[in-house]
Chains A and B, each alone.
Chain A
Amino acid sequence: MKAAAFDYIRADSVDAACRALADANGDGKVIAGGQTLVPLMAMRLTRPSLLVDINRIDALRGVSDGDVVTIGTCTRHEDARRDPLVRRHLPLLAKAIGFVGHQQIRNRGTVGGSLANADPAAEIALATLLLDAEVEARSPTGSRAIALNDFLQGAMETALADDEVLTAIRCPKRAGGTGFQEIAQRHGDFALTIAAAQVELNGDGTCARIALGLGGVEDRAIRLPEIEQRLTGAALDNLDEKLKDVADMVDPMTDQHASATYRRRIAGPLLKRAIEEAVAEARA
């Protein structure tokens, strides 16, 4: 399996990358870590005529602190996972990255690349959706911020225009406990279903703030706002009862790995595990 022929440009700046993409008239693709794109090219599921390599643009790498934590799009998974700012302020993201592929994938793949390729079962999309993150995209005409919920539009579909480059991910800092539960056929494989929870508790043990979501169930990562509202202010016990209608709130997909019925059935129990994990962590 070899990729179809293409031209290659190594961009030395984001502007140069945007210009090259604009010149390619929709037939260009950005390559960062390549851990999603290269398999798609090898299987000829995509055959861009131009690849624009953004790996050597220093400004796109690294994690920086401010009101929010900003992650450069080309930051490799393993670098982000080990980063002290990510571990301290975005523990859910650090935890989620541990589930991304294997060591060799995490060494090369990038946080922005995972988001830009928008696989429905991608862990980073789910974690950043729960963190109320936004991404920054640059085009030849300027920059814009896109909330993650608007950015993710479907399976392998995002709000990025043909001449836009995703440059950074901005995540508000979060305290409290985190839960990340995944079912995959083999460790490191794409998830059949993922449930994630970010929980902050009040002094009396009730829920001060909660973010909940599922990945790999629908065509993109989703939040569960009704359940979040129901649980906010409540004691996080008796979860079977409180989560019993999760199955009715999702519209799962069927693929060769699992049926919609299976995904519907495990969504609630997996979410319960994620909440319990997060609560235990928040209490610790």
Chain B
Amino acid sequence: MSRHDVTLTVNGQRLSAETDARTTLVDFLRDELRLTGTHTGCEHGVCGACAVILDGRPSRACLVFAVQADGAEITTVEGLAPSPDSLGILQDSFWEEHALQCGFCTPGMLIAAHGLLAENQDPSDEEIRDAIGGNLCRCTGYKQIVDAVRLAAERMRKANVPGPGQ
């Protein structure tokens, strides 16, 4: 079993650790880099809880081995907030619309929605549902999540913010 040095730029910060080849990106973020905002769910690419932005696009961090991501730029849910004690527009919209109950799926939902809003400032409800279609929520029935993403898009357009969470 080979071990590898892995360096990532996570939320703008360069971080390195040594890990086994079989360590997934989500386990590396959580266990080696201690960034536990990203959640581990099904570990086989079904639930979406582990979603991160990998080189600009939402991806499942349980389906990438950390060693494969060496050198990559990653945004995790921690990177969506302007500071550790405040919320970005998207996160605040989840708060406002009660878009979470237990919160387990929330990091993945936020990343999926962030990816959508970075490309589409005025998504239809259908486009929002499509973007979060790979993320399972067992609490909300999804309605409030769709409401929250729609609200965030509206707020960002009004604030003329050039992308989510800026």
Residues of A bordering B, CB below 8 Å: 1-8, 10, 31, 34-35, 38-39, 42-43, 51, 53, 55, 78, 101-105, 107-108, 187-188
Contacts and interface: CB of A to CB of B under 8 A. Distances in A.
A51 B51 CA distance: 23
Contacts of A187: 130, 133
Given A7-B21, A8-B2, A107 B58 contact: yes
Contact of A1 (B20, B43, B67): B43
5 contacts: A1-B44, A10-B67, A51-B21, A53-B67, A104-B134
Contacts, number: 93
A107 B48 CA distance: 13
Given A1-B44, A39-B45, A101-B134, A108 B22 contact: no
Nearest to A188: B133
B107 to A, nearest CB: 13
Contacts of A10: 67-68
Contact of B1 (A5, A35, A108): A5
A108 B134 contact: no
A256 to B, nearest CB: 15
A1 B20 CA distance: 15
B22 A39 contact: no
Interface in B29-88: 42-45, 48, 51, 54, 57-60, 62-65, 67-68
B4 interface: yes
A31 B112 CA distance: 24
Contact of A7 (B2, B60, B68): B2
A6 B59 contact: no
Q: Report which residue of A35, A38, A101 has the largest number of chain B beta carbons within 10 angstroms of its beta carbon.
A: A38
B62 A38 contact: yes
B10 interface: no
